[in-house]
Chain A
Amino acid sequence: DQQVKQNSPSLSVQEGRISILNCDYTNSMFDYFLWYKKYPAEGPTFLISISSIKDKNEDGRFTVFLNKSAKHLSLHIVPSQPGDSAVYFCAASADGNKLVFGAGTILRVKS
């Protein structure tokens, strides 16, 4: 039972353009959502998070949007840079409990 889904296994974007990574969830009890970036053979790096009481959170080039009614969140990276190329994981938790991860999306930013 996949509670957090990232339906796009990969995404390719031109440098300078916007990258949009999507994530859907099924558990309505989730109240905290996070995005992590991961390089091969390294641990995930925290990027940005959002609480269910908000619908948008912005940090520099990264913005996360949350649509609770659609149970959907997205990560926008603008402008995209070649160094952003990595695997991006969406994660969710309920009441501060364990994180449930999506399968990840490979982002490739072409220069």
Chain B
Amino acid sequence: GAVVSQHPSRVICKSGTSVKIECRSLDFQATTMFWYRQFPKQSLMLMATSNEGSKATYEQGVEKDKFLINHASLTLSTLTVTSAHPEDSSFYICSARDWRVETQYFGPGTRLLVL
């Protein structure tokens, strides 16, 4: 089956620093990748849609200057949380859509803790 990896799996950082999370599709090309955030006991919340070679589309209420997304290749998208604050602590999950089918495959997630 399709595999999507995320790195790092966990990160602890100080308030005010920036954190970069990588999402890779390992065995397929993904023209579109998605970034989600999950709060405890809640469903996945879509943050932005990332298209290879173009600017990301952000959902309402998501600050594009705070959550920088780069989709430089068909297998890699990055999410950078800039000037992180404790309220940014969450579980961030990416997904990649296999261009041959409509199914999205998810990465294992990244747990971010901002102190």
If A46-B1, A93-B102 touch, does A99 touch B46 (CB 8 Å cutoff)?
yes
Q: Nearest chain B CB to A66's CB is how many angstroms away?
A: 15
For chain B, residues 85 to 109, give those with C-beta under 8 angstroms from any C-beta of chain A: 91, 93-95, 97, 102-109
Q: Is the CB of B102 within 8 A of A101?
A: no
Q: Is the CB of B102 within 8 A of A46?
A: no
Q: Is A65 an interface residue (CB 8 A)?
A: no
Q: Is the CB of A43 within 8 A of B46?
A: no
Interface of B is mostly: strand
| Chain B residues positioned under 8 Å from A41 (CB to CB) | 91, 109, 111
| Chain A residues positioned under 8 Å from B6 (CB to CB) | 43
Q: Is the CB of A43 within 8 A of B103?
A: no
Name the contact of A44 in the complex, choosing from B42, B44, B102 (C-beta under 8 A).
B44
Kindly state the separation between the CA atoms of A96 and B1 in the bound complex, as whole angstroms: 20
Kindly state the separation between the CA atoms of A101 and B47 in the bound complex, as whole angstroms: 13
Q: Is the CB of B44 within 8 A of A101?
A: yes
Kindly state the separation between the CA atoms of A46 and B106 in the bound complex, as whole angstroms: 8
| Chain B residues positioned under 8 Å from A103 (CB to CB) | 42-43
| Chain A residues positioned under 8 Å from B108 (CB to CB) | 42-43
Kindly state the separation between the CA atoms of A42 and B36 in the bound complex, as whole angstroms: 13
| Chain A residues positioned under 8 Å from B94 (CB to CB) | 43
| Chain A residues positioned under 8 Å from B111 (CB to CB) | 41
Q: Is the CB of B102 within 8 A of A96?
A: yes
Question: Contact mask A86-111 → B, CB, 8 Å, 1/0?
Answer: 00010001001011011110000000
Q: Is A49 an interface residue (CB 8 A)?
A: yes
What are 15 A-B interface contacts by the 8 Å CB criterion?
A41-B109, A42-B108, A43-B107, A43-B109, A44-B44, A44-B93, A46-B1, A46-B103, A49-B102, A96-B102, A98-B46, A98-B49, A99-B46, A99-B104, A104-B43
Residue positions of A touching B, CB distance < 8 A: 32, 34, 36, 41-46, 49, 89, 93, 96, 98-99, 101-104
Residue positions of B touching A, CB distance < 8 A: 1, 4, 6, 34, 42-44, 46, 49, 91, 93-95, 97, 102-109, 111
